[in-house]
Amino acid sequence: MGFHRTAFLGLVTCTLLASSALIVAACSDDDETQVNTTNNTPDAQTDTSTEIDAGPNCPPVQKPACTNSACTAQAGEPAVCVEGKCVKLKTSDCPLAYGPIDDDNVVVIGSSHANRGPNKAPGDQCNDVMKFAVDEINKLGGIPSSDACKPAKKLAFVACDETNFFVDGGTYTLPADAGPSPRQQSWTHLANDLKVPVIFGGATSGDGIALGQWVIPQYKTMVFASRASSPALVNIPADGFQPDGYRLMWRGSENLAVEAEAARSLYGQLETDLKAARAKATLKVAIVLKNDPFGQPFGAALRAQGLNVNGTPYTGTQRDDVLDVTFQFVDGVGAGEAKQTVRDKLLAFAPDVIIIVASDEGVTEFMQPLEASYQANAVPEAQRPYWIGARGLRSISMTTYVDSITDAAQKTSFLKRVRGLVPGRITALSQDFFNLRFKAAYPNAQLVDGVRELYDMTYMTAYVMAAAASKGAIDAKALVDNVPSILSGTEGINVGPTSYVSTVKRLAAGEKINLNGTFSAMDYDTKTGETPVDTSVWCIAIDPNTGKSLSNLTTGQYYDAAQKKLVGTFKCE
């Protein structure tokens, strides 16, 4: 396949989350203008004409007293008409409004990602993906109705900031009695003021859960978590996000329980190969977990599934061939042990394999110092551990570290012993979207977590809206009720512009399809709001053209979520 694939292999992460009736995805944009946070403006002036010519063979329709164009003109900034009142689209924490806002047939959806702080760059890309998908859909005619006398609807979105605590690069903590936080106020703006049917968002599982807990019980808004992976997302709160018997919390990304199962399978194959290569009857494995909402549930899932070590499932009981440790992200804070203590335990235990669930600190605080120790003490390669990393280890810190290794033999040894897992799989459809079309529009784009998920979710929303439009108002319940229209058909349809026009017309007419996405097959379980997601096995390779390291997702091996097994042969090049 060659190294043209490297454009697809970004190393940043993106934040996501979802909300009620329409889909909202919040990332950041160049337009960060702070605006008046007072959202309601007086009713727009009523035009003197009272009817609109709907075209040949269609009866004239009553012209609304409140229009988006009049609201925008009156407010002096983007505004829409909601229930007969003008509402400004932007607030200080919702800096971006994008799409044909002046169109009175526009449907506004929401987004909640990072517009400030350390995740601003991937947040910007989340916005770019939303813009790209919205532009494609609108240029193709938008969302039609089965009634030829009704105009098609267009899509627009408002992006809000979920970071909450960043002010001019600094941070602050809200007092306990401060009332709704800035991000909660922005979610209320989307769900209550603008009445969006759905919100995309959640940089982390905690963010996704917080979004859902805020907007679903109060406003019954649909939330589409594009990056949140915690298994708890399905069942929080106790009613499962089903206040009226229909599910409002959905997930566009992978449940980390699937990634844990993929890690279990990957370790099983590696154990077999390594026993043969090292002529050992038994191996020792270390499980190193970050004390955060990803690391701890991942470890719990790994134990619950039973990591098979030397023929016996490890379920958490202490044993001589398994070291199971949790490290504190900030030393002395929370459960777990200081990072130095964990490093000392790893050196003393001398594992054959280390399964590590961490982010950049997994490289800087564990891989790098341990590998330096092995090198300084001339530990033979056959005694150095293989590393299996979850998605967070595939980072800029990883490639920076590899590029810093000057000893050729050491670098070759390390690269041979590193592999990891990341949700999603590179397919022809995902290549077409990302490499051929999205990067043409946004040349600096990286394949961050959430890019393909957001693209799929935006199109899925448009398809479902088309199915719902002819049946009444497009609200959260209508979206949920019509999700089966894109699941239960026999004809497979790929997300994207190729067959969009004909497909939305068919959905508007009551037909059904079987939608396939760039990130997953989109075979959603309507009871859980989840879809099976394949998991790619990645490695770190060296680009022969530049001599620099890169993250390689095309190793030929992946975990098939439907078949529940590892398939393909691992090859890193």
Average pLDDT over residues 208-234: 87
Average pLDDT over residues 462-468: 96
Q: Residue 428 CB: number of other CB atoms within 10 A?
A: 9
Instruction: Specify the range with the lowest mean pLDDT, choosing from 69-73, 291-295, 338-342.
Output: 291-295
pLDDT one-digit tens code per residue, 131-174: 999 999 999 999 998 888 888 999 999 999 987 665 544 555 66
pLDDT one-digit tens code per residue, 15-67: 333 333 333 333 333 333 333 333 444 444 444 445 555 566 788 777 788 99
Q: Which residue has the tokens 């690069």?
A: 169
Phi–psi pair at 332, nearest 5 degrees: 90, 0
pLDDT score at 43: 47
pLDDT score at 25: 35
Question: 513 or 174, which is more confident?
Answer: 513
Instruction: Specify the range with the lowest mean pLDDT, choosing from 240-244, 296-300, 515-519.
Output: 240-244
Question: 178 or 41, which is more confident?
Answer: 178
Phi–psi pair at 230, nearest 5 degrees: -60, 135
Query: Rg of the Cα trace of the chain?
Result: 25
Residue 398 near residue 534, CB atoms below 8 Å: no
Question: How many CA atoms within 13 Å lie on the side-chain side of 1?
Answer: 19
Give CA–CA dist 568/88, Å, rounded: 52
Q: How confident is the model at residue 120 (pLDDT cuts 50, 70, 90)?
A: confident
pLDDT at 241 over 90: no
Rounded (5°) CA angle 434-415-125: 25
pLDDT score at 12: 40
Question: 411 or 240, which is more confident?
Answer: 411
Q: Residue 516 CB: number of other CB atoms within 10 A?
A: 18
Length of the chain: 573
Question: 388 or 6, which is more confident?
Answer: 388
Mean pLDDT across the chain: 86
pLDDT score at 8: 37
pLDDT one-digit tens code per residue, 320-361: 999 999 999 888 888 999 999 999 999 999 999 999 999 899
pLDDT score at 236: 57
In sequence order, the 6+-apart residues with CB closer than 8 A to the CB of 493 are 499, 503, 513, 514, 515, 516
pLDDT score at 292: 87
pLDDT at 502 over 60: yes
The enclosing H or E element of 214 equals helix 205-219
Phi–psi pair at 148, nearest 5 degrees: -65, -20
Q: What is the three-state SS of 104-144?
A: CCEEEEEEEECCCHHHHHHHHHHHHHHHHHHHHHHHCCCEC
- The amino acid at residue 508 is A
Question: 63 or 268, which is more confident?
Answer: 268
Beta bridge partners of 357: 289
Give this prediction's pTM.
Answer: 0.83
Report the DSSP pairing between strands 85-88 and 249-251: unpaired
